[in-house]
Structure 1
Amino acid sequence: MDVYLKFVLVGLSIALPVGAITVEMTKQGLKNGFFHGWAVGLGGMTIDVLLILALYFGLAKILSLPYVQLPLWIIGAGFLFMLAYDSIKNADQDITLAGEKVNKSLSKTYRNGLFVAVSPGNLVFWISVFGAVLADSYVTNESVGFIIAAIGILTGILLHDVGLLMIVSITRKVMNRQMIKWTSIIGGMLLFGFGCYFLYEFYLAIQAYI
């Protein structure tokens, strides 16, 4: 139980800093409500679970190879630029105020979460966090510690997502369409900034090999 609680706190501490997933969750939560914001978070957690499984089955070394990570900086930047463009262009579209019927598909916001989560930063995090746990599992031939750590971190991320979206849902009740529109525009600008950061990291990685 102590190990589980420790990694729940790790998951919370990782999820707290504002990142691309948090921006997209907040934007969708304000425009379309709790469940659409949560769909983004679940999309991100789907990538997290797939990465955990990849690490568990011994693919950590492959995922940590520079020539595997390099293309992902570009892919991640492309996805973020696409979401940023959509967020700014359609800032006044698909806005559902509290109490109104939501028409937007949950699958689309879930897909956005998947797109945002595809980044080398996410890969590096999982490799670094679980590296020590994996090494210990190989020595002791026990996978229980790894599984508990994974569940703990995912629980922490889930608690953050639910807490954030509860706050967003309350805030949404006092916001009008114009306020939500500008929130979407600001969110798009932040996503564009994260995309530029990905391109910068790609540039630095390329320079390291020249």
Structure 2
Amino acid sequence: MEMYIKYVLIGLAIAMPVGAITVEMTKQGLKNGFVHGWAVGLGGMTLDTTLIIAMYLGFASFLSLPYIQIPLWLVGAGFLAYLGYDSIRNADQDITPANEKVKKSFWKTYRNGLLVAISPGNLIFWVSVFGAVLSDSYRSAGKESFAIAACGVLCGILIHDLGLVSLVSVTRKVMSRRLIRLVSVAAGTLLLGFSFYFLYEFVMSLWAYIL
């Protein structure tokens, strides 16, 4: 139990910093409520779970190869640029008042969360930092310990996501349409910022690899 709680706290620590997933969750939660904010979180957790399974099967070393990582920076920049542009262009669209039924597709929002999660920052973090933690757990206590650690981390991320979208869904009830639109524009700008950062990392990583 002590080990499980430890990894729950690690999961919370992983999810706390403001990143692209947090930005998209906040935006969708404000525009369309709890379920759509949560859909973004589910998209992110889908990739988290997939990476945990990949680590368990020994694929982490494959993801850490330079010629695999470098193109991921460019792919991630493309995904985030698309989502950022879409967020700004449609800032005044798909806003559902708190007292009306949401018409936007749950699966479209889930897809956005998945696209944001498939970014080099997320992948490299899992492989280089958390992958080492899970690998150590696997080596020291075997498969059972690995499963407990993985479940603890996912639970920590889940607690963070539910807390965030709950707070956002309550906040949207007192926000005007204009303020929600401004938040959507700000979120899109942040996503574009992440995109430019990934593009910069792609150029620098490619340059270092060539030299």
TM-score normalised over the length of structure 2:
0.96
Q: Deviations over 1:174-195 (max 9, x none)?
A: 0111111111000000000010
Q: Structure 1 residue 139: deviation in Å? A: 6.1
Residue 114 of structure 1 is matched in structure 2 by 114
Moved over 6 A (4+): none
> How far has the Cα of 1:207 moved from its partner?
2.1
Counterpart residue number, 1:46: 46
For residues 116 and 105 of structure 1, what CA distance do their matches in structure 2 show?
A: 17
Q: Which runs of 5+ in 2 are unaligned?
A: none
The residue number in structure 2 matching 1:159 is 159
Aligned length: 209
Aligned partner of 2:67 in structure 1 is 67
Tell me which residue corresponds to 1:80: 80
SS at 1:91 equivalent: coil
**Whole-Å separation in 2 of the counterparts to 1:136 and 1:14:** 17
Q: CA deviation at 1:130?
A: 2.6
Q: How far, CA to CA, are the matches of 1:135 and 1:169 in structure 2?
A: 38
- Give deviations 1:96-155, integer Å, cap 9, x for gaps: 011111000000000000000011221222222132432453465x21111111111111
Q: Secondary structure at the match of 2:174?
A: coil
Change (3 A) 1:132 1:21: closer
Structure-2 separation of matches of 1:136 and 1:187? 37
Look up the SS of the partner of 2:97 in the other structure: coil
Give the corresponding residue for 2:132: 131
Corresponding residue number in structure 2 for 1:182 = 182
After TM superposition, the structure 1 = structure 2 runs for residues 91-106 of structure 1, keeping only pairs within 5 Å, are 91-106=91-106
Provide structure 1 residue ranges, at least 5 long, that are not aligned to the other structure. none
Aligned partner of 1:172: which letter? R
CA spacing shift, 1:136–1:9, aligned 2, 3 Å: closer
TM-score by structure 1 length? 0.96
